[in-house]
């Protein structure tokens, strides 16, 4: 079955994924250029993510979405198991949001162009002015009523285990006094572990667990640290047993 699945990926799924990506990215660019950013900045990306998981025959399980309140902006924070985290969250978060993503992703053909036009937030740490511009964009998004999604580890895991959480997303939530929603991703590392070179996708279930929102109980460094630690513990609590426990990520 493994080799049959690989042949299916190579001959059927991959060509269709490329075609779908080009069509969706182009529609996002055109739609956002015409001034319909609220719709085109979210829904086509959601459909794109779901279609890709469907083409690759990946089953998805969602738990805990009932914890979210309608109309509330959130800072979503998730562990970063692998590339398929993007498809899982984009396809199944269930509300409009913007990503905080590495600025290097802007160079991906079609995808980077669509991300720029749809006002995703590129995290650029190449100097104080660029860092400030990143936080200004995130602040404007949240104040406008749209949520943001962040991988606070900053990079994908090499082992499936979690590294440390950086405080940037939590400081932003603290400044705006917004709730943080921890998300636990399982299965993404098993589907496509981080490695060099091209690799085939492994068939495995994806799951996304929404934890209870963490509301601020104050403001300042103590609140930032408390929310960060609580979010980390929440995400860790729902990880598959084989990935429980901290493992240092050399990328951090």
Closest CA to 84 of 194, 232, 247, 239: 194
Which region among 29-33, 137-141, 175-179 has the lowest average model confidence (pLDDT)? 137-141
> 219: number of CA atoms within 13 Å, CB side?
7
- pLDDT for 8 beyond 90: yes
Closest CA to 68 of 239, 173, 183, 177: 183
- Could you tell me the maximum CA-CA distance found in the chain, to the nearest angstrom? 55
180-186/75-78 β-pairing: parallel
Q: What confidence category does residue 65 fall into, taking pLDDT thresholds of 50, 70 and 90?
A: very high
Question: What percentage of residues in the chain have a pLDDT greater than 70?
Answer: 96
Between CA 242 and CA 190 the distance in angstroms is: 11
* Per-residue H/E/C for 46-80: HHHHHHHHHHCCCCEEEECHHHCCCCCCCEEEECC
Tally of CB atoms within 10 A around 23:
13
- pLDDT for 135 beyond 90: no
Do residues 102 and 122 touch, judged by C-beta distance below 8 A? yes
What is the per-residue pLDDT across 87-119, written as a single tens digit (0 to 9) for each? 999 999 998 898 877 777 777 888 877 888 888
Tokens of 173: 């939530």
pLDDT of residue 38: 80
What is the per-residue pLDDT across 183-238, written as a single tens digit (0 to 9) for each? 999 999 999 998 766 689 999 999 999 999 999 988 999 999 999 999 999 999 99
Do residues 150 and 76 touch, judged by C-beta distance below 8 A? yes
pLDDT of residue 50: 97
Task: State the chain's mean pLDDT as an integer.
Answer: 89
């Amino acid at each position: 079955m493994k080799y049959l699945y690989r042949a299916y990926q190579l001959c059927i799924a991959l060509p269709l994924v490329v075609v779908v990506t080009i069509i969706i990215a182009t529609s996002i660019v055109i739609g956002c250029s015409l001034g319909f950013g609220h719709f085109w900045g979210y829904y086509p990306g959601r459909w794109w993510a779901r279609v890709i998981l469907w083409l690759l025959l990946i089953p998805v399980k969602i738990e805990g979405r009932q914890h979210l309140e309608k109309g509330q902006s959130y800072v979503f924070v998730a562990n970063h198991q692998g590339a398929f985290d993007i498809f899982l969250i984009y396809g199944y978060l269930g509300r409009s949001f913007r990503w905080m993503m590495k600025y290097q992703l802007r160079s991906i053909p079609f995808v980077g162009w669509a991300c720029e036009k749809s006002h995703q937030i590129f995290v650029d740490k190449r100097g104080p002015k660029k860092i400030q511009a990143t936080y200004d964009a995130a602040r404007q998004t949240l104040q406008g009523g749209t949520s943001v999604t962040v991988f606070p580890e900053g990079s994908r895991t090499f082992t499936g285990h979690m590294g440390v959480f950086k405080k940037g997303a939590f400081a932003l939530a603290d400044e705006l006094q917004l709730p943080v929603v921890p998300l636990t991703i399982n299965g993404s590392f098993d589907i496509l572990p981080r490695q060099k070179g091209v690799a085939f996708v492994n068939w495995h279930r994806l799951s996304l667990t929404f934890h209870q929102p963490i509301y601020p109980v104050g403001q300042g460094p103590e609140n930032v640290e408390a929310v960060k630690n609580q979010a980390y513990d929440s995400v860790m609590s729902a990880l598959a047993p084989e990935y429980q426990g901290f493992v240092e990520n050399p990328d951090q």
